[in-house]
Structure 1
Amino acid sequence: MGLDDAATKPHEALAAHLAAKLGDVDALIRARMASRHAPRIPEVTAHLVEAGGKRLRPMLTLAAADLCGYAGDHDVRLAATVEFIHTATLLHDDVVDESASRRGRPTANLLWDNKSSVLVGDYLFARAFQLMVETESLRVLDILSDAAATIAEGEVLQLSTARDLATTEALYLQVVRGKTAALFSAATQVGGVIAGAPERRIAALHDYGDALGIAFQIVDDLLDYQGDAKSTGKNVGDDFRERKVTLPVIRAMAQADEGERAFWRRTIEKGDQQDGDLDRALDILHARGALDATRAAAIAWVAEARGALGVLPAHPVRDMLDHLADYVFARLT
């Protein structure tokens, strides 16, 4: 996409620009994940929070507030809120998916147990709501509480569509908007709200986060079939082995002949997977152009995110957010 070396990792440029605020966010996260009565809470939380994630979502909140000229400290509280919500959902997701690794490390449910993961996730949700209230903004509370509910709805919808080859692209997009994009769009939107930005700019920030989140998840689903375990933190084919119906499979099913439909029904719907099935799945995905079609969808959503930024004022942070949209897709290269 024509990115030079300096722009291939724009999340690092954004992190450097926001370094002081991010330090405050990390300090607040450490302080609020403490518990006087249950030492397992900070143990479990620290395992995930300190696992080397990019802090992308809290950076979006800080960046949006900075772009809109905010000079207070509520952006730090909201960034920590967003990270707590994200971490809570990861703890719950790993239990639901029965995952054994995340970001190349054992999951909390594997190291401790499912009960600890669920309850610590609940604790982090409670902490997130405490931080929201401290901003004394009813609108912020409305946006983030709605996002939390939407995330839960998205996860439940994903359960109901799991292993169902009749899942449409529209339904897939609804799941993605719920489980991933909702927090991206809320993260950017509240940054503008806390800064008192004009409604047009707040709407643009929401639209940027929404499109960025959708592109991010589509790329994640594509990386599952053509990524590198060292960089993605998961093995190629994990979604196939877990029988998840993601966009590459949906696109392949749309072009499948009867033999290929039988293959997908056996491996995804019935769960009868044999040696060599992943290789055959990859062959079908390539032959039917499903991976290229999924890549094109990701590019389109990246363009949508970049287009939303046009409403926002000229600012170095706006340029960083523009490059960040490119980087979401550049993870494929």
Structure 2
Amino acid sequence: MLSINEIKKPIAADIEVFEERFKGAMQSSVPLLDRITHYIVKRKGKQIRPMFVFFSASLCGGITEATHRGAALVELLHTATLVHDDVVDNSYQRRGFFSINALWKNKIAVLVGDYLLSKGLLLSIEHQDFDILRIVSEAVKQMSEGELLQVEKVRRMDVDEPVYYDVIRQKTASLIASCCACGAASAGADAETIEKMRLFGEKIGIAFQIKDDMFDFGTDDVGKPLGIDIKEKKVTLPLIYALKNCEPAERKRIINLVKNHYEENDKIAEIIAFVKRTGGLEYAETQMKRYQDDAFEILNTFPPGDARTGLEQLVRFTTERNK
């Protein structure tokens, strides 16, 4: 599998310009805010979402100034949601570093998230990128709804496959879908093409989240702590399948462990072993590949070229990664 740096080569110059503009978009006259945003920029991730924006624009007509603003908008709103998520989840680490709320406490973290959100909105309004703003705002709305749906269902342990897919489609896939739709819109694509790219991104987002959920039951060297979803009582696809395909007595016992013993490491290990024994990981892998294949089917309706190849490689990176 290609590294992320190899995949981004065709758009490397655009990513470099994006990074400078993104850094500039976060600047503030408040020294504390500048220190925090500098900390965020220094610990940026792989920038997969901006890459989806740029490759999608390339595929649908070409990268424009609006593409750069769309990528910055997506990344600002995504960063805002991550800062807020860490507060909601009481998480003190993000990508192996201290989270904003761990270093500056919850009140400041919430305000920083709000600031990033407002900067993204203003960036689009000032340049009248209303189509792009609408696409990304719809994604943020869906992300909030997905989180709340998950909270509601987790409390009652009332999660089956259709509900699981509803949650991850809104919570994760909606943002990647908006990246691809944004890229297409910024290149001047028609409504049918924008919707096609949105659907492509949604399929990839679902596959991405299934892969992420599988890590919870794998080895503990993937960058995500083993059993963290179980500790948060999140019912994911491998566990849903395993519970559906076991004897009623074992199902009752495992549900009891998830509900009442989710912080005990030996019980978490027991749940993980149950999922592996019952074929939960194999089933999740099959479903992930099905969504990936659906995405490739959409992608293959576009003419071959660097942009299509770049998107295909980026898709494979998100689903074949080991962390």
Could you say if the C-alpha distance between residues 67 and 116 of structure 1 is closer, same or farther in structure 2, counting changes exceeding 3 Å? same
How many angstroms does 1:213 deviate by?
0.6
| Residue 116, structure 1, aligned to residue 116, structure 2 | no
Q: What does residue 330 of structure 1 align with?
A: 320
Measured against aligned partners, the alpha-carbon deviations of 1:192-241 in whole angstroms (never above 9, x if no partner) come to: 11211233322221111111111111100101211443xx4321111112
Gaps of 5+ in 2: none
Q: What does residue 202 of structure 1 align with?
A: 194
Q: What does residue 260 of structure 1 align with?
A: 250
| Residue 212, structure 1, aligned to residue 204, structure 2 | yes
The amino acid across from 2:310 in the alignment is: M
How many angstroms does 1:135 deviate by?
3.8
Q: What does residue 190 of structure 1 align with?
A: 182
Please say if residues 29 and 80 of structure 1, whose CA atoms lie closer than 8 Å, have aligned partners that are also in contact: yes
Q: 1:309 aligns with which of 278, 284, 299?
A: 299
| Residue 75, structure 1, aligned to residue 67, structure 2 | yes
Q: What does residue 298 of structure 1 align with?
A: 288
Q: What does residue 93 of structure 1 align with?
A: 85
Measured against aligned partners, the alpha-carbon deviations of 1:217-275 in whole angstroms (never above 9, x if no partner) come to: 1100101211443xx43211111122211111111111232343233332322345434
Could you say if the C-alpha distance between residues 44 and 315 of structure 1 is closer, same or farther in structure 2, counting changes exceeding 3 Å? same
Q: What does residue 131 of structure 1 align with?
A: 123
Partner SS for 2:164: helix
Alpha-carbon distance in 2 for matches of 1:272, 1:330:
29
Alpha-carbon distance in 2 for matches of 1:21, 1:259:
57
Alpha-carbon distance in 1 for matches of 2:144, 2:296:
28
Q: 2:7 aligns with which of 11, 14, 36?
A: 14
Please say if residues 54 and 63 of structure 2, whose CA atoms lie closer than 8 Å, have aligned partners that are also in contact: no
Q: What does residue 167 of structure 1 align with?
A: 159
Alpha-carbon distance in 2 for matches of 1:10, 1:206:
25
Please say if residues 83 and 109 of structure 2, whose CA atoms lie closer than 8 Å, have aligned partners that are also in contact: yes
Q: 1:57 aligns with which of 25, 40, 49?
A: 49
Could you say if the C-alpha distance between residues 17 and 159 of structure 1 is closer, same or farther in structure 2, counting changes exceeding 3 Å? same
Q: 1:33 aligns with which of 12, 26, 30?
A: 26
Q: What does residue 40 of structure 2 align with?
A: 48
Alpha-carbon distance in 2 for matches of 1:27, 1:300:
37
Alpha-carbon distance in 1 for matches of 2:201, 2:265:
40
Please say if residues 227 and 332 of structure 1, whose CA atoms lie closer than 8 Å, have aligned partners that are also in contact: no
Could you say if the C-alpha distance between residues 238 and 272 of structure 1 is closer, same or farther in structure 2, counting changes exceeding 3 Å? closer
Q: 1:142 aligns with which of 134, 146, 160?
A: 134
Alpha-carbon distance in 2 for matches of 1:103, 1:120:
18
Stretch deviating more after TM superposition (178-187 or 311-320): 311-320
Measured against aligned partners, the alpha-carbon deviations of 1:89-114 in whole angstroms (never above 9, x if no partner) come to: 11111111111222111221111111
Give the % identical residues.
Answer: 33
CA RMSD, aligned part only? 1.9
Q: What does residue 66 of structure 1 align with?
A: 58
The amino acid across from 2:35 in the alignment is: E
Stretch deviating more after TM superposition (191-200 or 111-120): 191-200
Could you say if the C-alpha distance between residues 279 and 116 of structure 1 is closer, same or farther in structure 2, counting changes exceeding 3 Å? same
User: Number of residues paired by the alignment?
Assistant: 323
Stretch deviating more after TM superposition (52-61 or 13-22): 13-22
1:222-233 alignment, distance < 5 Å: 222-229=214-221, 232-233=222-223
